Structure 1
Amino acid sequence: MKLTVVGGGSTYTPELIDGFARLRDTLPVEELVLVDPAADRLELVGGLARRIFARQGHGGRVVTTSDLDAAVDGADAVLLQLRVGGQAARQQDETWPLECGCVGQETTGAGGLAKALRTVPVVLDIAERVRRANPDAWIIDFTNPVGIVTRALLQAGHRAVGLCNVAIGLQRKFAGLLGVTPADVHLDHVGLNHLTWETAVRLGGPEGEDVLPRLLAEHGDAVAADLRLPRPLLDRLGVVPSYYLRYYYAHDEVVDELRTKPSRAAEVAEMERQLLEMYGDPALDEKPALLARRGGAYYSEAAVDLAAALLGGAGSPYQVVNTYNRGTLPFLPDDAVIEVPAAVGGKGAAPLPVAEVDPLYAGLMAHVTAYEDLALDAALRGGRDRVFRALLAHPLVGQYAYAEQLTDRLIAHNREHLAWT
């Protein structure tokens, strides 16, 4: 089995390598190819990857290259974890929206649109090269904004599934609070990528007992603290929203915070500097503890599980993924990309039935889906007016004066990445 990681020079990658090494019985990788244009980073990450494999007794071969076509040739699955423009572009995404009084964040709002515009054309080019190399290969997208990128891939006819670590992170958190194993916890997880709610927490499987009321009653303070939302709000909702919902439920509060502290991009850039220095130590043969603060916790386990299921291995048959709606949520178009539990196998991901969704959540999902339609149109066809329409449609923008200002700033800060400017 050959797997390729595009963006293999990312500081995330040792998390992924650790999962491949530990879970080799689930996903028996014989050749792992890390491809990245940043040769200096790739050398450091690749060296650590080989040492992790060796320490854990994994017999697979780790190859590093900057040649994308060679990297994907014959690959059974290709994992995408790239960042067009690097941390410098992320820093801009988190900064200029604040000038207009809007949330500055890399996956949602105006910053998320900028990231989509930079990313979608690059990902589609990669996907075409994967298809030429092996039309049966699966593409697993971890590149944000996952919902928009996955929809672009599916719309272009690629064998693709989107993946996010929010659900698996909450599953692990809830299992710890409840004193059970993660395998015992099944989430009724519904929404769009980075716009999701846990409407039930079931023990033993999709039809198991819903212990969410008990979880909130006994551990509501801990859950609320993690989400940085008030405990009374969780009690009133009776569900657990994704921590990304704070950008919607406490928008002005978040904007005030972001204006008075260093950006997340600056924090990550410093962590990356430290991590790369650690990766260069020839004695290091495991992922360092600092990596847990970098983000992407449990990404490796989710990625291994998904790849194994898609490739006919021992992966779990039910997983939370991003895929076409196909009537699962009747208030959204069939070709909307939703994030829900799905049955995963060699033919892809098929969403499981979802209980009727409260209008409080369905309305926001529909609103953001309309934005994503316009965002993808702007990413594929370009043009100032399409960017403006997408921003005007976004619930975190929504006013024409803001949309005008944000459009000008987005284009100014991303001109080198937008072919149509």
Structure 2
Amino acid sequence: MSLKLAIVGGGSTYTPELIDGFARLRDTLPIAELVLVDPAAERLELIGGLARRIFAKQGHPARVTTTGDVDAGVADADAVLLQLRVGGQAARNEDETWPLECGCVGQETTGAGGLAKALRTVPVVLDIAEKVRRANPDAWIIDFTNPVGIVTRALLDAGHKAVGLCNVAIGFQRKFAAHLGVAPELVRLDHVGLNHLTWERGVTVLPEPGAAAGREVLPELLAGFGTEIAEDLHLPLPVIRRLGVVPSYYLRYFYQHDEVVQELLTKGSRAAEVAAIERELLDLYADPALDTKPELLGRRGGAFYSEAAVQLLAALLGTGGGAYGVQVVNTRNNGVLPFLPPEAVIEVPATVDQRGITALPQSRPLEPLYRGLVAAVTSYEELALEAALKGGRERVFDALLAHPLVGQLDLADQLTDRLLAHNEQYLRRL
């Protein structure tokens, strides 16, 4: 089987990470043609040239093409990956700045900044998805565009063949495997929650690839490597050990909100740091001698994104030989977490194959300590999606009022005004 893939947002500085994975794992995912789609022509040519050199160095035979035309790019594609950022790093910098004026965390996927990104992004993604559907209704849409949970819910609600992907779970899998000295494919996670709101409630080491049973090692990890895990998460070790779980990094915005706000006021936005890294990366990508992903790309974020994408695509398109039958993805709840609506999108292990995606049952009910936050954020995400689809200042206000990090009338009002003012060029209909 030979495949055609399209990457919408192919001019992203992330893309060489993905290209590197495609090149190294070509036997798992036999790509014949890769199309990079992006309106930024100059960046696209830089990334396209580097992609061709990486493939050539690895002996990959795929043809790499570039275009600014979405319709042309997705035509006849077996799968389309979405990794776009409406407004670029400039909009992200604002998302991470103006909420701080109200004493709220500034972050691109969490809180008011995350809502702003969702409002800008959902209509654009749905327009792209309609073009994919017209070109090939059987094509899978893989969403890596944040906020992944809200965007995936929008795609599924519109009837698209879509799934959300995040690199948090595979990042934990790889780190835990390194701590334990085992192969990553032997590590299974009891990963539960919403995108960027998850906990590892268990870690199992399988006796061999594909085996159904194994030994639980989370207590061992916390006892032997708790300090390293806590430092990675920037959370206090005693709290992690008392909880007996490993929260995602993003839980810090909820568990230590005020402390994070003070840090951000002091050190500035992550967006400014990323923008500087991107400028350096683009200079590197312009070097015609460069034929590998540069080490600097590791500071850009998105670690193991390529491996996660290859595994997901291989399972969905039937090229993985059944090796990737269980993966952590963003998909419909459908009763897995019974306290949430069936149409909610959750991030959990799921069976993945050519027939589709089904979230796996949980080993035990989600504890009240986590259940309440998951329910509250799910309600916020539903309201955020309604605001993105229907517009109206009142809907934006309602979503902010429902968010656990806002939840106050005056604060929601102030944040609504700032959100709309800073995003006027993208949200005129709101």
Q: Secondary structure at the match of 1:118?
A: helix
TM norm structure 2: 0.97
Partner of 1:113: 115
Moved segments of 4+, more than 6 Å = none
Q: Secondary structure at the match of 2:288?
A: coil
State yes or no: 1:362 paired with 2:371.
yes
Match for 2:429: what amino acid?
W
Partner of 2:183: 181
Offset, 1:353: 1.1
Q: 1:221-236 counterparts in 2 under 5 A?
A: 221-236=227-242
Offset, 1:262: 2.3
Cα separation, 2, equivalents of 1:14 and 1:206: 35
Offset, 1:208: 2.0
User: Given that residues 186 and 206 in structure 1 are in contact (C-alpha distance below 8 angstroms), is that contact kept between their aligned partners in structure 2?
Assistant: no
Match for 2:382: what amino acid?
D
Tell which deviates more after alignment, 339-348 or 204-213: 204-213
Identity over aligned residues, as a percent? Answer: 74
Match for 1:98: what amino acid?
L
Partner of 2:258: 252
Cα separation, 2, equivalents of 1:28 and 1:121: 32
Which of 320, 324, 347 is 1:339 aligned to? 347
Q: 1:123-272 counterparts in 2 under 5 A?
A: 123-204=125-206, 207-272=213-278
Partner of 2:7: 5
Go from structure 1 to structure 2 and tell me whether the alpha carbon gap of 1:417 and 1:206 turns closer, same or farther (over 3 Å shift). farther
Partner of 2:334: 326
Q: 1:391-410 counterparts in 2 under 5 A?
A: 391-410=400-419
Cα separation, 2, equivalents of 1:366 and 1:263: 29
Cα separation, 2, equivalents of 1:91 and 1:214: 40
Cα separation, 1, equivalents of 2:15 and 2:232: 25
Q: 1:12-27 counterparts in 2 under 5 A?
A: 12-27=14-29
Offset, 1:207: 3.5
Which of 46, 50, 58 is 1:56 aligned to? 58
Match for 1:346: what amino acid?
Q
State yes or no: 1:65 paired with 2:67.
yes
State yes or no: 1:33 paired with 2:49.
no
Cα separation, 2, equivalents of 1:308 and 1:396: 38
CA RMSD across the alignment: 0.7
Tell which deviates more after alignment, 350-359 or 284-293: 350-359
Q: Deviations over 1:32-70 (max 9, x none)?
A: 000000000001000000000000000000001111101
Match for 1:280: what amino acid?
A
Cα separation, 2, equivalents of 1:206 and 1:371: 36
State yes or no: 1:317 paired with 2:319.
no
Partner of 2:396: 387
Cα separation, 2, equivalents of 1:40 and 1:347: 39
Match for 1:170: what amino acid?
F
Q: Deviations over 1:262-304 (max 9, x none)?
A: 2100000000000000000000000000000000000000001
Go from structure 1 to structure 2 and tell me whether the alpha carbon gap of 1:334 and 1:206 turns closer, same or farther (over 3 Å shift). farther
Which of 262, 285, 291 is 1:285 aligned to? 291
Go from structure 1 to structure 2 and tell me whether the alpha carbon gap of 1:395 and 1:206 turns closer, same or farther (over 3 Å shift). farther
Q: Secondary structure at the match of 1:290?
A: helix
Q: Secondary structure at the match of 1:78?
A: strand
Offset, 1:206: 5.8
Q: Secondary structure at the match of 1:415?
A: coil
Offset, 1:380: 0.3
Cα separation, 2, equivalents of 1:236 and 1:402: 33
User: Given that residues 93 and 115 in structure 1 are in contact (C-alpha distance below 8 angstroms), is that contact kept between their aligned partners in structure 2?
Assistant: yes
Match for 2:289: what amino acid?
A
Offset, 1:366: 0.3
Match for 1:229: what amino acid?
L
User: Given that residues 161 and 348 in structure 1 are in contact (C-alpha distance below 8 angstroms), is that contact kept between their aligned partners in structure 2?
Assistant: no
Cα separation, 1, equivalents of 2:313 and 2:303: 17
Offset, 1:418: 1.1
Match for 1:109: what amino acid?
G
Q: Secondary structure at the match of 1:416?
A: coil
Offset, 1:179: 0.8
User: Given that residues 52 and 285 in structure 1 are in contact (C-alpha distance below 8 angstroms), is that contact kept between their aligned partners in structure 2?
Assistant: yes
Q: Secondary structure at the match of 1:170?
A: helix
Match for 1:120: what amino acid?
V
User: Given that residues 196 and 242 in structure 1 are in contact (C-alpha distance below 8 angstroms), is that contact kept between their aligned partners in structure 2?
Assistant: yes
Which of 354, 359, 363 is 1:351 aligned to? 359
Offset, 1:347: 2.2
Match for 1:393: what amino acid?
A
Q: Deviations over 1:233-267 (max 9, x none)?
A: 01110000000000000000000000001210000
Unpaired runs of at least 5, structure 1: none
